[in-house]
Every structure is written in structure tokens, then in C-alpha cells.
Amino acid sequence: MLVEQTLSGRTVLLVITGGIAAYKTPDLVRRMRERGARVRVVMTKGAASFITPMTLGAISGEPVFTELWDRDAEQDIGHIRLAREADLVVVAPATADFMAKMAHGLADDLASTVLLATTADVLIAPAMNPKMWDHPATRRNTQTLQSDGIAFIGPEAGEMAETGESGVGRMAEPMDIAMAVEAHFAPDRSKGLLAGKHVVITAGPTHEPIDPVRYIANRSSGKQGYALAKAAYEAGAKVTLVSGPTKLEAPTGVDRVSVQTAQEMLKATQAALPADIGIFAAAVADWGVAEPSNGKMKKDGSGPPALKLVENPDVLKTIAMGANRPRLVMGFAAETADMETHGRDKLVRKNANYIVANNVAPPEGKALGGVMGGDANTVTLLTRDGSEPWPTMSKHDVAKKLIARLADDLTGIVHA
């Protein structure tokens, strides 16, 4: 899956200490690297008991550092260079012992020396037995580190490596740590292009029930709508994401309202208003079953049941024509033929300011469904003034460009 390069140009120094959770660190390195970060790794002797430097070196693409008194590395004062070249230092897992070293300023190995020498911000992910986490000494060390400006993620509650042990002490999951690293480098939202604005976004498919186990749906993944929600939030907006069923996680900071049907999506969107901008990226089912069955329909040899379909509400048109219309309304048009013609008709007929049109017809010889759900998009932005074909980009980049355009046009309206 194509992942947005949110950490491009950043160097993260990962310090791995000697806890069983060290086995999760290759996944953490991978997740930070796929977001564009350069990841350099320092390991304690204890960490090397759980995972090898060779493994971390292969995944990071960098030499792995383990010794303070390494002749080659220390010829140019390697521990100082490691400490100063990092944009952020992440300690994961951070054992009780290593937290105590940090709290008391000890520097008897490469890892602790780097922590004492760095001027970069530090994020730690504690991992230890629940009794160790609750011990008064660990609590004192935690308070000392927090007062020194050290950021924490976790620990979390759950089962421990020790049989029968559970409680607070598990290291945060690699994805959560990677997201915390992303958040550290995120721009100041108070200065964003949409600071103080409210953006309502619909995303994903709708599921129209046939019976308790079957439904009418489409192939929408929701990826473009979720990318727009993330971009709008990063631009400073308050974001309400009205989402049909997807496997995606809501972007951090975004208020997601989960719905199933077109009727539910319309009601949730109306309830979220007023808004400055409305973005309608959801692929709402055009039709629903008039009278869904209360029980599962069975094959009885008499042939398929006749389904009476009714037209679903048009969420985009209803909002864009309503009294509580956002200042700017953007719709989406996924077409399989005559993309611009159908998109421009939709622009006028539904009273939108923009239609983002794309051709979702599968290439010749390809299976149906091969286009929707991908990580890239090729769109044409349609307005009353004309059309703007855009090159193929990741859905994250399409989202950023669309949000920047909306913010610019909204500023023009406000100052007009």
C-alpha cells in the first residue's frame, strides 16, 4: 500500500533496550521508513538478546550501533554525531532499568550516552511487567522524565509475556508509535490554511440491506475521503467525517460518524452542519431495497427473489440545495465513460462548486473492480470556469492539493 511520506527528510534515532517487546521493533522501523524517515538504530546488549543487529540493519538499511567503544565509529566521536544528527530520538522498548538510567543521567553504554548527549526531543515507549511499572521507583523516574520534557506513549494494558500475567505494561504497538512520530513533526494547526474552519466530509460506500446478511453496495474503499479528512485536519480545520463501512482507521483528531445506509449518511451529514466546506467523496448507493427481509432469504428452488428497489436520497444535492449549505461544496464523480460530460452535468444539476471526476472503468482485459480501492488517483477538477486535468498522484497528494485549493477559494470568498 502506498503510504504518505510524512517523515520525508527526517532522521529518527531508534534506541532499543533489553525487553521482550524488542521483537516488535523491525515492524516499527519498517513503518517509519515507509513514511520516508531515515532510521538509525542503537541497541543495548540486552536488546541483542532478543533481536539481532543484522535484522535491524537489513530493515533500516543503515549500520546498527551497539558499542560505545567501537574504534571505527568513535574515531569521529560517533556517539555525539548520532545524538546531534537525529531530529527525534525514540526509545522503544524502554525498560524500567533504562528509564532509571535516563532519569539519573547515567551514561555507561552507547544508548545511555547518546540520550545524555542529544539536543533532540525524545519519545519513549515503556515496556515492563505491571508490578515494575507500578513500583514507586518507576513512578518517580517517570515523573522526573516527564518534567525533563520527555514524551511518553503507553504503556498499554494487556497480556504479558509471563504466563498468567496481565495489566499495564505492554509496549505501544508499532503503528501507534509511528503515528506519534508523525504527530511530533506535524505542522502547527493553529497556523493552518483552514484554522478555525469546519469541514464535513463523506467517505466510503453505503450498505443497503436486502436481509440480515446481504446488502447492496459498491467497490469504494473510502481511501480518498479519509485522505481528505487527514489533509483538512492537518490544515487546521475541525473535521467531521461521515463514513460508510470501511476497514480504515479514522485519522487522528478527526471526528468520525459511522453510518451504514444512504438515509443514515444524509441524516448524519445534516446533523454535522453548519460547515464552511462540504466534501462529498462517498460512493452512495443509488438504490436501496424497498422492503428488506427480516429473516435470511433461502433458496427454495423457485428462483431468485424479486427485489423492489427505491431511489436513495441524493446526499450531495440535498445539502447543496439546502438552506444550511456550506460556502463551498465539492462532489465526486466516478464514471466509466464520458467522464467530463457526466461530471459537468452533475456540477450544475447538484449545485456544486466543484466536481472531482475520475474514470474508474477497468483497463481492457482487466477484471472489474481493479481501479477502485487503489492508492493512486487520476482526476480532473471541474468548475463553472472549466476543467483541470491533474496527473496521476497518490490519494494523499490529491487530497492535499484539493484542500489547498478549497482553502484558497474560501479565503477569496471571505475577503470578497
Cis peptide before 136 (omega within 30 of 0): no
Query: Residue 190 has what DSSP assignment?
Result: G
Taking a C-beta distance cutoff of 8 angstroms, is the pair 252, 179 a contact?
Answer: yes
How many Å apart are CA 113 and CA 91, to the nearest integer?
13
105 Cβ neighbours under 8 A, 6+ residues apart: 116
In the three-class reduction of DSSP (H, G, I as helix; E, B as strand; rest coil), residue 37 is classed as: coil
Looking at residue 373, its pLDDT comes to 67
How many Å apart are CA 332 and CA 349, to the nearest integer?
13
Looking at residue 78, its pLDDT comes to 57
| E strand or H helix at 277 | strand 277-280
Residues across the chain: 416
Question: What are the residue numbers of the active site?
Answer: 218
Taking a C-beta distance cutoff of 8 angstroms, is the pair 205, 265 a contact?
Answer: no
Taking a C-beta distance cutoff of 8 angstroms, is the pair 99, 135 a contact?
Answer: no
Domain topology for 11-185:
Rossmann fold (3.40.50)
pTM exceeds 0.75 for this model: no
Domain residue extents for the chain: 11-185, 189-290+306-415
Whether 189-290+306-415 and 11-185 are alike in CATH topology: the answer is yes
CATH superfamily of this structure's domain 189-290+306-415? CoaB-like (3.40.50.10300)
| pLDDT average per 10 residues of sequence, the chain (416 residues) | 77 96 96 94 94 95 84 54 90 97 94 92 95 96 95 88 78 93 84 94 95 88 94 95 93 92 96 97 92 86 85 96 96 85 92 92 57 78 93 90 96 68
Distance between the two ends of the chain, CA-based, in angstroms? 42
Taking a C-beta distance cutoff of 8 angstroms, is the pair 177, 152 a contact?
Answer: no
How many Å apart are CA 333 and CA 314, to the nearest integer?
13
Give the cell for residue 339.
467522464
Q: Crossing angle for the helix pair 110-117 and 78-85, nearest 10 degrees?
A: 50
How many Å apart are CA 409 and CA 326, to the nearest integer?
13
Looking at residue 77, its pLDDT comes to 47
Taking a C-beta distance cutoff of 8 angstroms, is the pair 237, 199 a contact?
Answer: yes
How many Å apart are CA 281 and CA 224, to the nearest integer?
7
Distance set, CA 38 to CA 177, 191, 233 (Å): 15, 27, 26
Looking at residue 391, its pLDDT comes to 92
